[in-house]
Amino acid sequence: MRIATITNWAYGATVCLTIASGIVMLMASSADNTERQAVAQRQVFDQLTEEIDNDAWALSDLARLYVVGRDPDVLKEYRQKETALKSIEHRLSKLNDVGATGEELALLHEGVQIVDALQDEQQAALANMARGETAQAMALLYGKIYEQELDRAQERLDHFRQLLDNRARDAIDDATRASRTLRTLSEVMVGLTALLFLFVLGFILQHRVLRPVVRLSDVVHRLASQDYAVETPDFKQIDEIGDMAQAVRIFRENGLARQQLEKERDANWAIRELLARMTQRLQGCENFDDVINVAELFAPNIAPGVAGRLFVLDRDPWQMRCVAEWLSPEGKASPFHPDECWAVRRGQSHPPVHGEPDIGCYHLPETCHSHSLCVPLIAQGEAIGLLSFQNLNEQTASTRAYLELMAEALGLALANQRLRDALLEKALYDPLTGLRNRHHLEDMLGTQLNLAMRSKEPLSCLMIDIDHFKHINDRFGHEAGDGVIKSVAAIIQRVVRDQGTAFRYGGEEFLVLLNGMDEEAASRVATDIYNGVREMALRFAGTDIGHVDVSIGVASYPEHVQSDNLLRAADVALYRAKELGRARIVSFGMLEAG
């Protein structure tokens, strides 16, 4: 059995004995009270019955005296005594059931009834006197029956007092014996309590003082060596030992808190290193997909357990589109209008304070409102995307600052990528037609020629020029000329599609690279372009420009030239087409045959 259990049992036994001793003392006191109550009851009953007895004889004497002497003062005194007797009988009726036995009550009631009957006889005699019938009154009050009833009433009341005296004496004897027995038992219990108290006191000194001090000393020694994993004893008693245990417990809790702070500091450093590494990786991203891959990799590690999605803002149509998600967030990753997110509306994180009541973003399920966070990706004062996080709680709320830093880094990376794409588009694509420009042609031509040489497949080139373009500019203006260039470029792009790559070579000249096509296949594509342009009806500002013709030169590798002369051969074929009168297709092979 444990020491604490033994001590608790001893304490419990001491308390029980003390309580039992107190109860016995109360019982002894109750026995004394019973004795005093019996004596007091006897005195009350004895006094009242004696007064009834005396008053009954006094009333009889006064009634007889009035019958003999007809003295009004005697009659007045009789009336007063009669009223007093009724008051005594009334008081006695209130007490006659308090502790009295059935036999006592029967005697008492019979005596009182006899006294009441005698009073009735006295009233009858007084009534006879009032009518002048003195003889009848004398017969009633001095008759043998009246005397017998008077003696019988006294005998009943005397017998009642005798029974009352016997019962009171027996009650006093019983109460005295019970009180003596209970007091003795109480004294025995007090002695046992004292012995048990001495035992418990010695037990406590041995096991509750010496042993706790030794245990606390061992704990203090281990805490001094920064072993905060040690369990401190839980001494809850309010004394010096309890104070020492509380101090040791506070010291350990402070050590654990310091260790926790150190862990959090290390964790914060780790997160900061992850953020720095993510920022470095974002700076090295070459395209949009690289940014997405970096976000999917680093986000779950920067905020463990926090699910999320990355949205980017599309301008056509105007919507937020999910491009990445991690840790299986709730709800569907459907596109939504930017106004459905309060963070995008406000340009700040939403909700601003975790756990406080606030309106939820409409693009999130209602079940996520209490544990979600939306952080807009801002670039140059405009929202270009959104980070939406879920499963935020009190433990992960401290990572909110890191989530906002991550959003800032991603927003900057996406903005840089968009700027990079825009600059690349301006560098590689013609702004008027949307076709690739001449700068892009150099890289593309080298790549496709190398591919053709490795795969031993043909590569053809179309050189296209709009006929009489200067006449169009001079007659209809440069804006109309730009419209013609855009329309011809659209025809070329539609015909080529996935078969090759179209370029604006310069001014009104275009160039098409057809990978995997020989001269015959390239000539068919050239014919489709020629016919498409010729069939096109052009109008500008309500003015009919008419139809436009193009001249096309065709050259193929390796049929006509080597790799480094492909463009030159196509240009020669185009020049020949112009010499022959324009509006025609000329292949470099035709020149060789001629």
- Output the pLDDT for position 335: 94
Cβ count near 192 (within 10 Å): 16
Query: What tens-digit pLDDT sequence spans the chain (594 residues)?
Result: 445 565 666 667 777 767 776 676 666 566 556 656 666 666 666 666 666 667 667 777 777 777 777 777 777 777 777 777 666 555 556 555 455 666 766 766 776 777 777 777 767 777 777 777 777 777 777 778 877 777 777 777 777 777 767 776 776 777 677 777 777 877 777 777 777 767 766 766 666 666 676 666 777 777 677 676 677 766 666 666 666 776 777 777 777 777 777 777 777 888 889 889 999 998 888 888 899 999 999 998 888 889 999 999 998 889 999 999 999 899 888 999 999 999 999 999 998 877 678 898 999 998 888 889 999 999 878 889 999 999 888 776 667 888 889 999 998 988 888 888 777 777 788 889 989 988 888 888 988 999 999 999 999 999 999 999 999 898 888 899 999 999 999 999 999 988 999 999 988 999 999 999 999 999 999 999 999 999 988 887 777 888 899 999 999 999 888 767 899 999 999 999 999 999 999 999 888 665
* Coil vs helix vs strand at 587: strand
Handedness of CA 142, 146, 148, 154 (dihedral sign): negative
Asked if 490 and 510 count as a contact pair (C-beta separation under 8 A), the reply is no
DSSP 582: S
Given the residues 508, 509, 519, 559, select the one marked as catalytic.
Answer: 508
Buried/exposed code over 498-519 (b: 16+ C-beta within 10 A; e: otherwise): ebbbbbbbeebbbbbbbbebbb
Is 592 designated active site?
no
Q: Measured between alpha carbons, how far is residue 392 from residues 175, 388, 421 in Å?
A: 77, 11, 35
- Report residue 505: phi and psi, to 5°: -80, -30
Asked if 60 and 85 count as a contact pair (C-beta separation under 8 A), the reply is no
Could you tell me which residues come within 8 angstroms of residue 221 by beta carbon, excluding any fewer than 6 positions away? none
Starting at the edge strand found earlier in the chain, the sheet holding 307-315 runs 318-326, 307-315, 382-390, 373-379
- Hey, which residues does 44 pair with through a beta bridge? none
Asked if 212 and 241 count as a contact pair (C-beta separation under 8 A), the reply is yes
Asked if 274 and 298 count as a contact pair (C-beta separation under 8 A), the reply is yes
Tokens representing 283 are 């700076």
CA distance 108 to 250: 79
Percentages (nearest 5) of helix, strand, coil residues in the chain: 70, 15, 20
Q: Kind of pairing, strands 585-587 and 501-506?
A: unpaired
CA distance 342 to 352: 10
Asked if 363 and 387 count as a contact pair (C-beta separation under 8 A), the reply is no
- Output the pLDDT for position 39: 64
- Output the pLDDT for position 470: 92
DSSP 366: G
10 Å CB burial of residue 255 (0-12, 13-18, 19+) is: middle
- Output the pLDDT for position 88: 57
User: What pTM does this model have?
Assistant: 0.48
10 Å CB burial of residue 471 (0-12, 13-18, 19+) is: exposed
Asked if 287 and 419 count as a contact pair (C-beta separation under 8 A), the reply is no
Residue identified by tokens 């150099």 is 442
Single-letter amino acid code for the residue at 112? V
- Output the pLDDT for position 323: 93
